[in-house]
């Protein structure tokens, strides 16, 4: 009788451990190995789409200090800790960075030195990006991951087609105006 | 064959418990040692004793950044991301704060906090490196768990004369 209860309890503990292990994997893999994120917004425009790209980021190299210039990184925004932004690392600690104050008007520029333990991040689209030019260099500790892959989906191809279609239909607006409005929906 | 089996079982158990440990310490809380005298009346009151204080760091509050004035927080250093510091939050975004040893008044920017040690004599804090982004905060210290005679909660203390909210 006692032996039977023991085996039942052992079985229950084993099952519970397997469930706990599964839940822990759900925490550990996106935090320590790699995760996927959807990136919105115009700030990385030539590289990433305005309409939301799925990117895959790995979370190993920032812990080892292997982030270098030119890497695309996920950074916890210094202005809002709940928000994560995707930018490119332009300067590491000790670098001198020159940037235009306002690229839309004039070419006044300013030069800054990145202090110890900080990085200088910028969006690829200098015209519409809220980055180190506004809030200054960010501490390295805010880096959450390094983007290394952008997912391509069939829908991307369809979008390209649709863009072509809408251009085409813009020239001949007699038919298929539905496609145009659907294409506008992404912004 | 028998020893191999035992080794395999042991490593599997160790892996499972390691995984659970990492998850719990990341999401809910962990225990950390306090070194140095920068928080002196609160932690490590006597510099002569060899034992450091051990504290419980609550990380569940980071889910929605429920931090308030007077909380003691752990954050990673601005100059070296591997270092952790323990300080007390004096000001939150929107507060005006007077910098010590200096007559300037500074408005804390959005998403930042102003941290200071309880021991103004030996503390590297926001008076030297400026406001700290809230994203660097790694947890809130709630209890002292070791040594046994000092077990207890860490109370919230706000020095009223330092801040003004407008």
Establish if B23 belongs to a structural domain: no
In total, chain B counts a number of residues equal to: 166
**pLDDT tier at A89 (50, 70, 90 boundaries)?**
very high
| Distance from C-alpha of B134 to C-alpha of B107, rounded to nearest angstrom | 15
3-state SS of A78-141 is: CCCCCCEEEEEEEECCCCEEEEECCCCCCCCEEEEECCCCEEEEECCCCCCCCCHHHHCCEEHH
pLDDT at residue A34 above 70? yes
Q: How many CB atoms lie within 10 A of CB B140?
A: 22
CATH number of the domain bearing residue B46: 2.10.109.10
Establish if A96 belongs to a structural domain: yes
pLDDT at residue B28, as a whole number? 93
Establish if B66 belongs to a structural domain: yes
In total, chain A counts a number of residues equal to: 187
| Distance from C-alpha of B111 to C-alpha of A76, rounded to nearest angstrom | 11
B48 half-sphere exposure, CB direction, 13 A CA radius: 0
| Distance from C-alpha of A121 to C-alpha of A181, rounded to nearest angstrom | 35
pLDDT at residue A88 above 90? yes
**pLDDT tier at A26 (50, 70, 90 boundaries)?**
very high
**pLDDT tier at A76 (50, 70, 90 boundaries)?**
very high
pLDDT at residue A180, as a whole number? 37
**Into how many domains does chain A fold?**
1
Establish if A172 belongs to a structural domain: no
pLDDT average, residue stretch B5-13: 93
Establish if B1 belongs to a structural domain: no
pLDDT at residue A154 above 50? yes
Establish if A23 belongs to a structural domain: no
Nearest to B18 by CA among A57, A17, A33: A17
pLDDT average, residue stretch B11-36: 91
The torsion angles phi and psi of B107, rounded to 5 degrees, stand at: -95, 130
B79–A141 C-beta distance less than 8 A = no
Q: Coil, helix or strand for B101? A: coil
Establish if A24 belongs to a structural domain: no
pLDDT at residue B152 above 60? yes
Over residues A119-137, the pLDDT tens digits come to 999 999 888 888 998 899 9
**Into how many domains does chain B fold?**
1
Domain that holds residue A143: 32-147
Are B108 and B18 in contact by the 8 Å Cβ rule? The answer is no
B110–A80 C-beta distance less than 8 A = yes
Establish if A81 belongs to a structural domain: yes
Establish if B13 belongs to a structural domain: no
pLDDT at residue A87 above 80? yes
Chain A residues 13-52 with CB within 8 Å of chain B: 17, 20-21, 23-25, 27-28, 31-32
Average pLDDT over all residues of chain A: 82
Are A60 and A33 in contact by the 8 Å Cβ rule? The answer is yes
Over residues B57-104, the pLDDT tens digits come to 999 988 888 888 899 999 999 999 999 999 999 889 988 888 877 778
Between A2-28 and B2-27, two packed helices, what is the crossing angle to 10 degrees?
60
Establish if A13 belongs to a structural domain: no
pLDDT average, residue stretch A22-43: 91
Establish if B36 belongs to a structural domain: yes
* Chain B CB contacts of A116 below 8 Å: 79-80
A96 half-sphere exposure, CB direction, 13 A CA radius: 3
Q: Coil, helix or strand for A46? A: coil
Establish if A18 belongs to a structural domain: no
Chain A residues 146-185 with CB within 8 Å of chain B: none
Establish if A3 belongs to a structural domain: no
pLDDT average, residue stretch A146-173: 61
A117–B135 C-beta distance less than 8 A = no
- Helices within B2-161 (DSSP H only): 2-27, 126-129
pLDDT at residue A33 above 50? yes
Query: Which has more pLDDT, A178 or B131?
Result: B131
pLDDT at residue A166 above 50? no
Establish if B78 belongs to a structural domain: yes
B61 half-sphere exposure, CB direction, 13 A CA radius: 17
**pLDDT tier at B1 (50, 70, 90 boundaries)?**
low
């Amino acid at each position: 009788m006692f032996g039977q209860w023991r085996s039942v309890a052992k079985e229950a503990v084993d099952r519970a451990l397997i469930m706990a292990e599964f839940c822990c994997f759900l925490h550990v893999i996106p935090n320590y190995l790699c995760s996927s994120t959807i990136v919105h917004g115009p700030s990385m425009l030539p590289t990433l789409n305005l309409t939301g790209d799925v990117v895959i980021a790995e979370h190993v190299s920032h812990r080892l200090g292997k982030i270098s210039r030119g890497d695309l990184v996920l950074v916890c925004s210094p202005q809002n800790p709940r928000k994560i932004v995707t930018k490119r690392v332009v300067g590491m600690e000790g670098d001198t960075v020159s940037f235009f104050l306002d690229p839309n008007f004039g070419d006044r520029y300013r030069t800054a030195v990145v202090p110890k333990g900080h990085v200088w991040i910028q969006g690829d689209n200098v015209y519409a990006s809220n980055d180190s030019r506004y809030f200054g260099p960010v501490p390295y500790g805010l880096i959450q991951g390094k983007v290394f892959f952008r997912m391509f989906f069939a829908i991307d191809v369809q979008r390209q087609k649709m863009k072509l279609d809408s251009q085409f239909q813009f020239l001949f607006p007699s038919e298929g105006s539905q496609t145009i409005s659907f294409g506008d929906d992404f912004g | 064959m028998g020893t191999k089996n035992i080794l395999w079982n042991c490593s599997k158990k160790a892996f499972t418990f390691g995984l659970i440990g990492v998850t719990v310490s990341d999401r809910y809380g962990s225990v950390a040692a306090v070194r140095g005298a920068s928080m002196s009346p609160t932690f490590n009151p006597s510099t002569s004793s060899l034992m450091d204080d051990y504290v419980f760091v609550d990380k569940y509050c980071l889910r929605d950044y429920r931090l308030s004035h007077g909380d003691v927080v752990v954050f990673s250093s601005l100059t070296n991301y591997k270092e952790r510091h323990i300080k007390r939050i004096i000001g939150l975004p929107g507060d005006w704060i007077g910098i010590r040893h200096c007559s300037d008044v500074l408005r804390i920017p959005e998403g930042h906090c102003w941290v200071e040690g309880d021991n103004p004599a030996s503390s590297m804090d926001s008076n030297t490196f400026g406001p700290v982004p809230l994203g660097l905060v790694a947890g809130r210290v709630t209890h002292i768990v070791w040594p046994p005679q000092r077990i207890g909660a860490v109370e919230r203390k706000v020095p009223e004369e330092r801040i003004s909210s407008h």
